[in-house]
Amino acid sequence: MKKFARIWFHRFVAAVDNPNLLAKARLKAFPRAFTRERKLNFRRTVFTMLDVGRESSSLKQDRLSEYFEKPGEKKKVTQQAFSKARNQISEHPIRALFEQQIEDEYKGLMGKLPARSDDGWTYLAIDGTKVALPNLPEMREKYFLIGANASSPTALGSCLYDISNNRLIDADFSTKADERACAVSHMKRYAQLRPGDKKSMITLDRGYPAIELIQEFEAMEMIYLMRCRRKFNCEIDALPLGCDTTVTIDGSVIRVIKFELSSGQVETLLTNDNEHKTEEFKQLYFMRWGIECTYLILKNRFQLENFTGKTEITIKQDFWATILASTMLMILEEDVNEQIRKRREDKDNKYEYQVNRNKFVGIMKDDLIYAFTARTPKGLTTRMNKIIQRAVEYVCPIKPGRTVPRAENKRKTKFHHNHKSNC
């Protein structure tokens, strides 16, 4: 386990034990929650929420009891006890742990500063996704509605992804379907993490272009690269294929690049960057695919929408726990992939190889919480190393330029709220 990952996880476990975390997590209705040292204490509750398994809560408690039990203890924690405990606190502890870890990383407190790409730039991506919620009256009242007769309650999940470091660095869970408002929030967060940075570019999909958002980027002196939809602006639509020129919209000078994809589709990109060459922008925008892969992990591998409860508190806890667990996966991937590369240095493979993420998620389900329950920092490092060594055995090839046709999914939701893990 490399120094960076070791420090990251040691600081995380120490942060869970910080008394201030519990003080801020308690809901007003439960001011004395976790004041007594019970079998199901605050630490165990947080780690149980962070467990990436989506089996029933009772099975999860049986599995985790083996990690938390002290010698001679036999009594198991019930599903009802866990549900009662988690409903006494907000989503704050999980969210605060994620945000503090990222902030410390960008301050260099984890042993190194986040890397930049070979050209000295940091490339990021912002994107949102609809999160299907349990179809219950309280959800329909508070969240926006989609589907037939606008009857399905839905939240907007939005993320800021650091492409250069393979890291989620900000997230939002919104009651409104307003991706641009979330984007502004992410921009402000990044300005806090890297104040005054002039060498970062944020890429956004075609749903984001709006003169108001462009002016936000200008006001914050940040660089954007947006894919532009047709009919956004008549002057831009009229520009010829292959152009690299500027237009002025409501006082904002916008660089427009048009090129043809291999599929024959015309791509139009907008930016306020003047350093990169025309031919570079196609690859720069393609780098945004990393955030799509991240959503694949969140929604398919970690089953984000397969909530372990039906209340707003438990849903938000699950959301932030999934964000934090996926961040931990990305931290450990650096070590795992480096070991995979070293193992295959002398082999004449056609492709480079990386860890099989599907298998890796399963390994984390088995061993992550067990590692966190180690009694000493050395024990934590030893157990984390075992996770890495298990993951190294499962690899898959990296095939550049590989494309898979998008298939239509007619299912409205993968996880019906009548058949949840919490049963």
Domain assignment present for 302: no
| Spatial distance between the Cα atoms of 244 and 416, rounded to a whole number of angstroms | 48
Structural domains counted in the chain: 2
Residues 241 and 275 placed together within one structural domain of the fold: yes
Which range of residues forms the domain containing residue 189?
Answer: 114-292
Amino acid at 321: A
C-alpha torsion sign, points 261, 265, 266, 267 = negative
pTM, two decimals, is 0.92
Same domain, 237 and 333: no
In terms of domains, do 174 and 263 share one? yes
Looking at the fold, whether 125 and 220 belong to one and the same domain comes out as yes
What's the rounded Cα separation, in Å, for the pair 227 and 323? 26
Q: Based on the domain organization, do 180 and 280 belong to the same domain?
A: yes
Shared-domain flag, residues 351 and 275: no
CB atoms within 10 A of CB 225: 24
For residue 228, the domain's CATH number is 3.90.350.10
Q: Is residue 372 in some structural domain?
A: yes
Same domain, yes or no: 72 and 132: no
> How far is the C-alpha of 8 from the C-alpha of 10, rounded, in Å?
6
Asked if residue 388 is part of any domain, the answer here is: yes
Q: Where are the alpha helices (DSSP H) in 70-150?
A: 79-86, 92-106, 137-142
Give yes or no: residues 196 and 238 share one domain. Answer: yes
d(CA 140, CA 419): 19
Tokens of 80: 């009802």
Q: Considering the domain boundaries, does residue 421 fall inside one?
A: no
**CA pair distance 406, 273, nearest whole angstrom:** 32
The pLDDT profile of the chain, 423 residues, written as one tens digit per residue, is: 899 999 999 999 999 999 999 998 998 888 888 887 777 889 999 999 998 877 777 788 888 887 887 766 666 788 888 899 999 999 999 999 999 999 999 999 998 999 999 999 999 999 999 999 999 999 999 999 998 888 899 999 999 999 999 999 999 999 999 999 999 999 999 999 999 999 999 999 999 999 999 999 999 999 999 999 989 999 999 999 999 999 999 999 999 999 998 878 899 999 999 999 999 999 999 999 999 999 999 999 899 999 988 999 999 999 999 999 999 999 999 999 999 999 888 888 888 889 999 999 999 988 999 999 998 999 999 999 999 999 999 999 987 766 656 566 555 566 555 544 544
Domain identity same for 70 and 161: no
Residues 225 and 361 in one domain: no
Distance set, CA 147 to CA 4, 144, 200, 306 (Å): 45, 11, 37, 19
109 part of a folded domain: no
